[in-house]
Amino acid sequence: MVSIHVLLRCKSTVFVCIDLAYLVMQSFFILQISGEWSRGLFVIKPEDEDIHTANERRLKELIGAPAGKLHTGRSRNDQVVTDMRLWLRDAISTLTDNALQLMSTMVERAAAEIDVLFPGYTHMQRAQPIRWSHWILSHAVALSRDVDRLLEIKKRVNVLPLGRGPVNENDYLQLEFDSISLNSMDATGQRDFVAEFLFWASLCLTHLSKMAEDLMLYSTKEFSFISLSDCAGFMMTLKGLPSSYNKDLQEDKEAMFDCYDTVHAVLQVTTGVMSTLKINQSVMEAALSSDMLATDLAYYLVRKGVPFREAHGISGKAVFAAESKNIALNQLTVIFSIYPLFLHFSPLFGSDVSSVWDYRSSVEQYSAPGGTAKCSVAAQVEHLRNWLQKRTQ
């Protein structure tokens, strides 16, 4: 038996039940009951087993025996799963809007701060210089997949599960379902759409958690790349992923509602964080160091005809030499260029090796689609703007 207290968890479930009744009665009394729910005046009584019996009991108080026709052509199992599908359909629309708003905030921030460079990290170690915008867009792209995945789930949610009674076609049209369930037994017993939604939420929150982890690190004194607003404290909730799915169908509603609450709140807070955080550009760029350009040193040799694997090995020897002498990699080339010893690494090194130590040139060399060059990042911004426009029309 579905607990009325569980169903009351969401007001839209109440209105769904009223809508189902309205298809049969279309009376002033149905609207009166709807108003009682919306104003918090509906009185729940001990004999009310669930939302459906509560509505029927109240209608009977108002109009008498004809209220019993509310249940015509539908079982309570039909009605419960219909409530869930209608509620989740609306919830998905809300979450889609939340995600699109967050993405729009991120894309426009990436466009505005496209010239800011900072260190990229691999396994928490500084790797190569990248654009701050490139980092932002890496998370925006993950969110775009989440949105597409959620819209696909919505298609499978928007299936009418009501039994094959005479009012079924009317329900289908007025409740704006896309299709009707093929089998009534499957319709009432399966909760695939809930499991899909819970999986989606777990994956989406994982993506947001990755972003939150970076932002929290970047805001520490050790990094000081960004300053977060007060609402950022809530980002720690990203570590609490949604409830697991329970095989008991009576437990599916709590998991679905809790899951929605978490994702809804996190998407809104993350939008606030991304729109209000302040970057410390000077600190970001001061964190760049010549050892992050070891790969560029290898590319220098590649442009002179050395196979990359060999060039990478030569660059590694230069890095090791710099570390053993406790000096920066670019200082090593300056020192060793005076002496023939530097030629020990490769006879192809010349005075033009100094051109390697330019961070902006390093970033600009990756101009292929998806790269960190300004033209590539600008193309990503434009692509995501167009993507957002298509999904917000």
Domain 4-72, classified CATH 1.10.275.10, yes or no:
yes
Which residues share a beta bridge with 117? 131
Calpha distance 331→267 (Å, rounded): 46
Calpha distance 20→382 (Å, rounded): 45
Topology given in CATH for the domain delimited by 88-119+130-166+174-285: Fumarase C; Chain A, domain 2 (1.20.200)
Backbone angles phi, psi at 254, to 5 degrees: -60, -45
- At 131 the pLDDT is 96
Per-residue pLDDT of the chain in tens (393 residues, 90 and over written 9): 344 444 444 444 555 555 554 445 446 788 899 899 999 999 999 998 888 889 889 988 988 887 777 666 667 777 888 889 999 999 999 999 999 999 999 999 999 999 999 999 988 888 899 999 999 999 999 999 999 999 999 999 999 887 554 445 556 667 788 888 888 888 888 899 999 999 999 999 999 999 999 999 999 999 999 998 877 655 555 554 444 434 445 566 788 998 999 999 999 999 999 999 999 999 999 999 988 998 998 998 998 898 999 999 988 888 888 888 888 888 875 555 444 445 677 888 877 888 888 999 999 999 999 999 999 999 999 999 999 999 987
Say which CATH architecture domain 290-386 belongs to.
Answer: Orthogonal Bundle (1.10)
- Residues forming CATH 1.10.40.30 domain(s) in the chain: 290-386
Q: Which residue, chain included where needed, has tokens 């670019």?
A: 330
CA separation (Å) from 353 to 109, 245, 286, 304?
A: 35, 59, 22, 11
Residue-wise DSSP of 97-158: HHHHHHHHHHHHHHHHTTT-EEEEEETTEEEEEEEHHHHHHHHHHHHHHHHHHHHHHHHHH-
- At 241 the pLDDT is 44
- Residues forming CATH 1.10.275.10 domain(s) in the chain: 4-72
Ranges of H-type helices in the chain = 4-7, 11-25, 28-38, 51-63, 76-112, 132-157, 168-174, 184-189, 192-218, 252-276, 281-286, 294-302, 308-324, 329-336, 359-364, 374-392
State the angle between helix axes of 51-63 and 76-112 in degrees (0 to 180), rounded to the nearest 10: 120
Which residues share a beta bridge with 20? none
- Residues forming CATH 1.20.200.10 domain(s) in the chain: 88-119+130-166+174-285
Calpha distance 332→341 (Å, rounded): 11
